[in-house]
Amino acid sequence: MSGKGMNLTLKIWRQKNAQSKGKMETYNVSGISEHMSFLEMLDVLNEQLINEGTEPVAFDHDCREGICGMCSLYINGEAHGPDRGVTTCQLHMRMFNDGDTIYIEPFRAKAFPVVKDLVVDRSAFDRIQHAGGFVSINTSGNTQDANAIPIPKADADKAFDAATCIGCGACVASCKNASAMLYVSAKVSQFALLPQGKIEAKERVLNMVEQMDEEGFGNCTNTGACEVECPKGISLENIARMNREYLSASITKES
Amino acid sequence: MSVLDAKIPEGPIKDKWTNHKNNINVVNPANKRLIDVIVVGTGLAGGSASASLAEMGYSVKSFCFQDSPRRAHSIAAQGGINAAKNYQNDGDSVYRLFYDTVKGGDYRGREANVYRLAEVSANIIDQCVAQGVPFAREYGGLLDNRSFGGVLVSRTFYAKGQTGQQLLLGAYSAMNRQIGKGKIKMYHRHEMLDLVIVDGKARGIIARNLITGEIERHSAHAVVIASGGYGNVFFLSTNAMGSNGTAAWKIHKKGAFFANPCYTQIHPTCIPRSGDYQSKLTLMSESLRNDGRIWVPKNMEDVEAIRSGKLKPTQIAEENRDYYLERRYPAFGNLVPRDVASRAAKERCDAGYGVNQTGEAVYLDFSSAIQRYGKEAALVQGEKNASAERITELGEEVIKSKYGNLFQMYEKIVDDNPYKTPMMIYPAVHYTMGGIWVDYNLMTTIPGCYAAGEANFSDHGANRLGASALMQGLADGYFVLPYTIGDYLADEIRTGPIATDSPEFDQAEKDVNDLIDKLMGIQGTKSVDYFHKELGKVMWNNVGMSRNAAGLTEAQEKIRKIREEFWKGVRIPGDRNELNPELEKAIRVADFLELGELFAKDALDRNESCGGHFREESVEESGEQKGEAKRDDVNYKYVAAWEWTGDPGQAKLHKEELEFNDIELKQRSYK
Ligand SMILES: Cc1cc2nc3c(=O)[nH]c(=O)nc-3n(C[C@H](O)[C@H](O)[C@H](O)COP(=O)(O)OP(=O)(O)OC[C@H]3O[C@@H](n4cnc5c(N)ncnc54)[C@H](O)[C@@H]3O)c2cc1C
Ligand code: SF4
Ligand code: FES
């Protein structure tokens, strides 16, 4: 692609605030370069709306390089859009064609109420972490030497892979039950795989799962849609590990 | 005598911190509960400070503008964190880390602070591992290290290209534990818009709830600003879109001196810009220079053939490539510090050797490393007769395990496979060494107001070494501030809760409301981004990698003009009592438009080249160092701390003379 760039029709969810009802609105943009990121394309639209004297579309974003987990967006029926292994901010317009109509909606889930337009409230995710997403160790620095406990590289690597979850919520948005199992299992797994995390493993999994249920996330029925849409490739293995952890913790809980 | 007192403790440098900790006041645990501390920012500095202070017993209120503390910009840090552990047995020590950092900063940092930083660095790694931070490990199960620029040892701990993410999630988890216990009250999607001073002491903040637009009053016995850097004054930088200077600038306008605003780091390895629509620039971690070799073609015909698409970089023979860093700096090669590497790239591109359409790109090439690792892996796996393809395959796997996410990021943005063709890179604004002036205790010139992390100025002098910002953020938050703040708060145990209905709070809230009304009332014709981009252009062209008196003088005039136009012509749609991203941006850009002017003024005032600040008037004229930056220790061996006087162009300069007792001042050579 070169020269004039693409002309696109955008169907975007507009909603004034949490209380009001929203609806899809239609906009046109032109001259979109294939090298633009998806959010840069929305910047072009917003600049246009501001110049016309109307309100720009609100959407969440910050790092614009796939790591902060702030951007969301449900694009053409997929969380983070058609590309795999990327967040919305990493999605590039070369994935689209001149003349396309693109549907842009917020992440939808009961536990993620819409704040405005495409912005949703994901604070339920934080509350799950408050319930157990930590190792109870003080920040004194007077712990033992970092190399005192060797950790098998394979375990360390798996813990790392689980820990790369960015907390974006695409797993929830992609799941027909709006389950948060992939997200919660990523944290539970990270700690379960490390000697430092094992000590509180039981309380952790019980408390985090309890909070997850309280927040109104749905049940997991193993459809695997979450893994497909997860921009960080968080594996379903983590859910299996969490289920094992949960089961053994429930059995030995109070006896 | 300067009005600035750095409060550096007496005694030999290696005993200063220990003695200081032994001598400062502490608050008894029962009293800590009665003391409130506000922490603005939840990055490595603010997150670690909030967790530690809450754990010690203080009642903490933390603020961030993102929807979760976990999304602070520290999350984006890629390459690693330094610590003087000497696990590699390559001669590292606290002294060597201290020395490298002072030298790397071109002798414009404060010795005592830097020594303390090096001293506590090892504890950071212990702490993080105990928290469950999954650093990279070797096959024996012990921690792995890599090298960063400007040093000759391997002391950088990392978690692939996501070190900042893992460290921040560690601090976030420590915060979560305290939030769960009710010891931290977290205010996300809140933006601090002013500091409240009562009887000369910092006593609270005014914040805007970004969802409802409500203006809130929050009081405390001390306020910590850990709001990050101001690199976005250039519009395009590697910082997150929301990173801004407002918190720092607001306290500056309330009396905190702003130090060395012109010290900016331009990072050598970022993805080159591709068009006018560009909203930000993406870093390719310095860790890549461990394995990547930087070059441009030797011959102009090759450059032209590449630009017109007739030749691929892989087709250029070894002898026709100019590995200019290896050529100019044989001792450090591709691992020279960032300022040196950036200027060298600019020099080649200015001479016409840039390898993309805009002429602003050089190659970062992994082919040698892929071959080297591939051969090693083949031997280790017992494949003695591995084919060339097999070696390449094995080598690419090793590279992937080290930098996989960075390579993926590159491929997604540029649409080119960096395992097969060299990456194209160019320098971009990345970090601000300047910031709020603080004393040894991290207190600003406002009693009770502290600054930590990138928001303060103290440790990196005129150029920060790679992997040192994460170290400083966590050192400040976990290990320094929790002690030093106690010295001040020990006098506050009888103060009681701070009321928010005082005239000082009334006034501060009114000022914020007036500011917002004024902005909303302009209803001009141009977007906030328009003005931000205009400012960015002036900053990059006149106050960027190379600066001179005429350009800096012109920059100040131009910025003043853009500022005037902004206040007449900006258009902010929507309402102030709702989520309004344009209003958020406008408030930040209004501050950048003042900060930018002070930045240029400081750069003009410092008529020497040091670190990232390169003045064309101050260059070595002859000898081995010909063309390199020329520092002027006779006239500029000071911290420039600026006092607000009502107009950034009229800021008043205060000097903190720097003393070097433990390191000899030398010309910084990486040859
Ligand atoms: C792409 C990239 C890669 C990097 N890689 C490395 C690396 O490998 N190694 C290294 O050492 N350094 C690296 N750095 C530098 C390092 O990441 C930063 O200097 C450091 O993380 C800054 O931490 P901080 O806590 O000071 O601020 P930040 O992490 O920027 O946090 C700022 C916080 O303040 C809050 N805030 C700001 N203003 C307000 C306000 N007005 N009201 C309320 N809240 C506010 C924000 O919400 C946020 O929580 C990198 C930087 C970038 C940009
Ligand atoms: S598991 Fe994947 S999709 Fe879910 S929050 Fe984490 S990164 Fe996002
Ligand atoms: S904006 Fe940070 S992940 Fe997309």
Angle, nearest 10°, between helix axes B549-569 and B581-605? 160
Tell me: do A204 and A108 sit in the same domain: no
Task: Supply the DSSP symbol for B314.
Answer: G
Q: Do A130 and B176 touch (CB under 8 A)?
A: yes
* Closest chain B residue to the Cα of A138, Cα to Cα: B55
Q: What is the CATH number of the domain that holds A21?
A: 3.10.20.30
**CB spacing of A141 vs B478 below 8 angstroms:** yes
Q: What is the CATH number of the domain that holds A152?
A: 1.10.1060.10
**Average pLDDT score over residue span B597-602:** 98
**Pair (A65, A140) in one structural domain:** no
pLDDT at B627: 87
DSSP B131-181: TT----B-TTSSBP-B--TT-SS--EE-BTB-HHHHHHHHHHHHHHHHHHT
Q: How confident is the model at residue A4 (pLDDT cuts 50, 70, 90)?
A: confident
Q: Specify the DSSP element, H or E, that contains B660.
A: none
| A139 vs B: CB within 8 A | yes
Q: Are B245 and B225 in contact (CB under 8 A)?
A: no
pLDDT on residue A86: 96
Q: Are B63 and B189 in contact (CB under 8 A)?
A: no
Q: CB count, 10 Å around CB of B91?
A: 9
CB B37 within 8 A of CB B11: no
What's the maximum distance between 2 C-alpha atoms anywhere in chain A? Answer: 72
Give CA–CA dist B391/B136, Å, rounded: 24
B110 by DSSP, 3-state: which?
Answer: coil
Q: In Å, how far is B229's CA from the nearest CA of chain A?
A: 14
Assess whether B338 carries a catalytic annotation: yes
Residues A250 and A126 in one domain: yes
Q: What is the mean pLDDT of residues B183-197?
A: 98
What was the ipTM of the complex prediction? Answer: 0.97
Q: Are B428 and B345 in contact (CB under 8 A)?
A: no
Residues A91, A138 share a domain: no
User: What top-level class would CATH report for the domain B501-637?
Assistant: mainly alpha
Q: Nearest-CA distance from B582 to chain A in Å?
A: 8
**Co-location of A140 and A104 in the same domain:** no
b or e along A154-176 (b: 16 or more beta carbons within 10 Å of the residue's beta carbon)?
A: ebbbbbbbbbbbbbbbbbbbbbe
Q: Which of A115, A148, A180 is the last residue of a domain?
A: A115
Give me the pLDDT at residue A2, please. 47
- Residue A142 belongs to a domain: yes
B71 Cα nearest atom in ligand 3? 2
In this predicted structure, what is the pLDDT of residue B2? 67
Q: CA Rg, chain B, in Å?
A: 25
Q: How many CA atoms lie within 13 A of B236 on its CB side?
A: 26
Mean pLDDT for the stretch of residues B185-209: 98
DSSP classification of residue B480: I
Tell me the shortest Cα–Cα distance from A187 to chain B, in angstroms. 10
Per-residue pLDDT at A254: 59
CB-based contact B464:B265 (threshold 8 Å):
yes
Does residue A155 belong to any structural domain of this protein?
yes
Kindly state whether residues A17 and A85 are assigned to the same domain.
Answer: yes
Q: Which residues lie closer than 8 Å to A209 by C-beta, 6 or more apart?
A: A184, A242, A246
Average pLDDT over chain B, rounded to whole?
96
Using a 6 Å cutoff on CB, does residue B245 contact ligand 1? no
Tokens for B115?
A: 């020594």
CA separation, residue B96 to residues B99, B117, B278, B382, B635 (Å):
5, 12, 41, 39, 28
Cα separation, B648 vs B595, in Å, equals 7
CA distance B295 to B543: 26
CB A17 within 8 A of CB A55: no
The verdict on A239 and A143 lying in the same domain is yes
Residues B440-485 pLDDT 10s:
999 999 999 999 999 999 899 999 999 999 999 999 999 999 999 9
Same domain, A105 and A130: no
For A15-97, strand residue ranges (E) read 23-32, 74-75, 78-79
The answer to whether residues A236 and A127 belong to one domain is: yes
Return the pLDDT at B574: 95
Residues A65 and A100 in one domain: yes
Residue A1 lies in a domain: no
Closest residue in B to A37 (Cα) is B413
Report whether residue B609 contacts ligand 1, using a CB cutoff of 6 Å. no
Q: Angle at Cα A178 formed by Cα A173 and Cα A182, nearest 5°?
A: 80
pLDDT score, position A1: 40
Burial B269-289 (b: 16+ CB within 10 A, else e): bbbbbeeebbbbbbbbbbbbb
A183: nearest Cα among A121, A120, A234, A110: A234
Closest residue by Cα to atom 8, ligand 2, is: A168
A234: CA distance to ligand 2 center in Å?
Answer: 7
- pLDDT tens for residues A14-33? 999 999 999 999 999 999 99
State whether residue B358 is helix, strand or coil. Answer: coil
pLDDT digits (tens, 9 = 90+) for B605-636: 999 999 999 999 999 999 888 889 999 999 99
Burial of B301 (0-12, 13-18, 19+ CB in 10 A): exposed
Q: For residue B526, give both structure tokens.
A: 């141009």
Do A18 and A101 share a structural domain? yes
Token look-up 């960075």 returns: B406
Q: How far apart are CA B632 and CA B622, in angstroms?
A: 16
Residue of B nearest to A146 (CA): B126
pLDDT at B131: 96
Contacts of B240 in chain A (CB under 8 A): 62-64, 68
Q: Which of B293, B338, B348, B547 is flagged as catalytic?
A: B338
CA of B596 relative to ligand 2 center, distance in Å: 38
The radius of gyration of chain A's CA atoms, rounded to the nearest angstrom, is: 21
Any ligand 2 atom below 6 A from CB of A232: yes
In DSSP terms, B296 is beta-bridged to B322
Whether A94 and chain B come into contact, CB under 8 Å, resolves to yes
Outline where DSSP puts E strands in B278-330. 293-297, 321-322
Residues A72 and A136 in one domain: no
The encoded tokens of residue A56 equal 């720009």
Query: How far apart are the C-alpha atoms of B190 and B214, rounded to whole Å?
Result: 10
Residue B325 clears pLDDT 60, i.e. is over it: yes
State yes or no: pLDDT of B275 exceeds 90. no
In angstroms, the CA A40 to CA A43 distance is 5
Summarize the confidence of residues A45-54 as an average pLDDT: 95
Residue B5 in this model has a pLDDT that exceeds 60: yes
Where helices occur in chain A by DSSP H, the ranges are 38-51, 123-130, 153-163, 170-174, 181-192, 195-198, 201-214, 225-229, 237-252
Question: What's the rounded mean pLDDT across residues A71-94?
Answer: 97
Report d(CA B236, CA A23) in Å as an integer.
34
How far is residue B556's CA from residue B13's CA, in Å, rounded to a whole number?
40
Domain count, chain A: 2
* pLDDT tens digits, one per residue of B418-437: 999 999 999 999 999 999 99
Q: Which residues contact B269 (CB under 8 A, 6 or more apart)?
A: B283, B284, B285, B286, B288, B289, B292, B341, B364, B425, B427
Q: Which of A:1-60 have CB within 8 Å of B?
A: 16-17, 33, 35-37, 39-40, 43-44, 47, 49-51, 53-56, 58, 60
Task: Choose the mutation target among B60, B173, B188, B235 for the interface with A, i.e. most A CBs under 10 Å.
Answer: B173
In a domain, A164, yes or no: yes
Residue bearing tokens 């990055």: B43
Q: Convert B105-137 to b/e letters by CB count within 10 Å (16 or more is b).
A: bbbbbbbbbbbbbbbbbbbbbbbbbbbbbbbbb
User: Which residues from chain A sit within 8 angstroms of residue B120, using beta carbons?
Assistant: 141
Distance CA A9, CA A25 (A): 10
Whole-angstrom distance, CA of residue A242 vs CA of residue A157? 17
Would you call A67 and B120 a contact, using CB atoms and an 8 Å cutoff? no
Please say if the pLDDT value at position A3 is more than 70.
no
Separation CA A10–CA A28 (nearest Å): 6
Q: Where are the domains of chain B?
A: 269-429, 501-637
CA angle B142, B146, B149 (to 5 degrees): 155
pLDDT tens-digit map of B161-185? 999 999 999 999 999 999 999 999 9
A5-19, A134-148, B425-439: range with lowest mean pLDDT: A134-148
For residue A173, the enclosing domain spans: 122-254
Q: What is the pLDDT of residue A142?
A: 82
Which residues lie closer than 8 Å to B561 by C-beta, 6 or more apart?
A: none
Which amino acid, residue A127?
R
What's the sign of the alpha-carbon dihedral B347, B352, B355, B360? positive
Is the per-residue pLDDT at B525 higher than 50? Answer: yes
Average pLDDT rounded to a whole number, residues A182-203: 97
